[in-house]
Amino acid sequence: MKQLKCDLLVIGAGSGGLSVAAGAAQMGADVVLLEGHKMGGDCLNYGCVPSKSLIASAKAAYGQGHSAGFGVANQLPQVDYAAVMDHVAEVVASIAPMDSQERFEGFGVRVIREFGHFISPTQVQAGDAIITARRVVIATGSSPLVPPIPGLNTVPYVTNETLFDLREKPEHLLIIGGGPVGMEMAQAHVRLGCKVTVIEGQRALGKDDPELARVVLDSLRDEGVDIAEGAMVSKIGGSAGAIEVEVNTGSTFRGSHLLMAVGRKANTNRLNLAAAGVETSRSGIQVDEQLRSSNKRIYAIGDVAGGMQFTHVAGYQAGVIIRSALFGLPSKARTSHIPWVTYTDPELAQVGLTEAQARDIHGVTLEVVRFDYHHNDRALAERKTGGFIKVMVVKGRPVGVSIVGHQAGELIGTWSLALANGLKMGQIAAMVSPYPTIGEINKRVAGAYFSPRLFDSQFVKRAVRFVQRWIP
């Protein structure tokens, strides 16, 4: 066995692990990085990058068939599903060098392409190497959750890890799970010419504000996606090309392909965490505000830490880890300013508290301010007028923002900045946004907060009359 020592051992080369490894190595730490599968992790290979690439192809197909409103005749799109998936693969390949072993070795990171497991609280074995590290960061991510549904093991199915390997277009795609992944893939495939049915045991997009979710779901239904809510799967049967999904309501859904999109599970099985004294829960490794596990020399970030499962969260947590592990500075992770986006059309974005959460916490001190897309001139020009923004405000400060509509994911960044830095609505209103842009929506909703204070105030009106009468 080779004996290695390092300052920092990073287990997992996904978004969070790569950020920690690169930052720490470039700041002078001796870093070892373990990855037993693909560099770049889920986001690059199976998640964010391929899914958004597929969505881009679907958007192009949809645009061909819905251009008459712009004075351009509609055309029936000729979709080559294999070519679409080749496009997806090309995008992944173009980004892969940024996450490659060679690039990170260039930063000074020792990369070992093996899975690792703990053999003591300070040692990890990976292949023929035993690594002793002053501190360890676990960034092993998560994998698709596949529940033990009766009959599922008798039929072929795909998850986000295998969906992008398809080259033959599904005739009728059944999707179990109505969360963001399920709904994004449902819309993409219906736009690419597939018949699509989504089967959700509770409420589709159930983690989002119901008012915003309804706008998205109505849009998907208008495009032809069949969405069955309150339909808990009880049994799966059939065979390849003829899959049957039975639900608790007595209905049976039939399709050619099956996508499982019911959630994620933390990747902890290989790690032998008991040997390290690291405690876990059903959602992943238990961590404190500094992202430390029950073994204070071992940190966990990203999906494996059991919190918000987004690539940008892992990247943010990497910064928290670097300040704490490298410099010994107090550094706590928080979530109040973390946004998330569902990349349907229209997009759905959220940061901070939803309206229901804000009402529960703040009660009568809460003000909810809204602005509709159809009052935005750029949205009118683009024919993207469906949607709205609402901002939850307490004593002049936003505590949460919900947006559904065109480019909602781009708009939400301004509000993440506001929540991260405790900005007031006046500071948002003071922003100058170029005309005409969708970004004006952020400024206009801030203006809507102040409008009744200015235009409906008798004090303001009396002050104006006084100035006009007596001040030369």
Annotated binding site for NAD(+): 177-184, 200, 263
Closest CA to 199 of 220, 230, 224, 169: 230
Report how far apart, in Å, the C-alpha atoms of 337 and of each of 44, 194, 365, 372, 415 are: 24, 37, 20, 23, 8
Position 198, amino acid? V
Binding residues for FAD: 52, 116, 140-142, 303
Closest to 220 in 3D by CA, of 209, 207, 204, 232 = 204
Q: Which of 271, 243, 42 is nearest to 159 (CA)?
A: 42
Asked whether 349 and 408 are in contact (CB, 8 A), the reply is yes
* 338 vs 335: CA distance, rounded Å: 5
Residue list for the binding site: 52, 116, 140-142, 177-184, 200, 263, 303
- The long-range contacts involving 212-219, CB below 8 angstroms and separated by at least 24 positions, are 212/348, 212/350, 212/402, 212/403, 212/404, 213/348, 215/346, 215/348, 215/386, 215/387, 215/388, 215/404, 215/405, 216/183, 216/342, 216/344, 216/346, 216/348, 216/404, 217/183, 219/344, 219/345, 219/346, 219/386
Distance from the Cα of residue 173 to its chain's centroid: 23
| Token pair recorded at residue 227 | 């969405």
Pairing of strands 31-34, 2-11: parallel
Tell me the torsion sign for CA atoms 447, 451, 452, 458.
positive
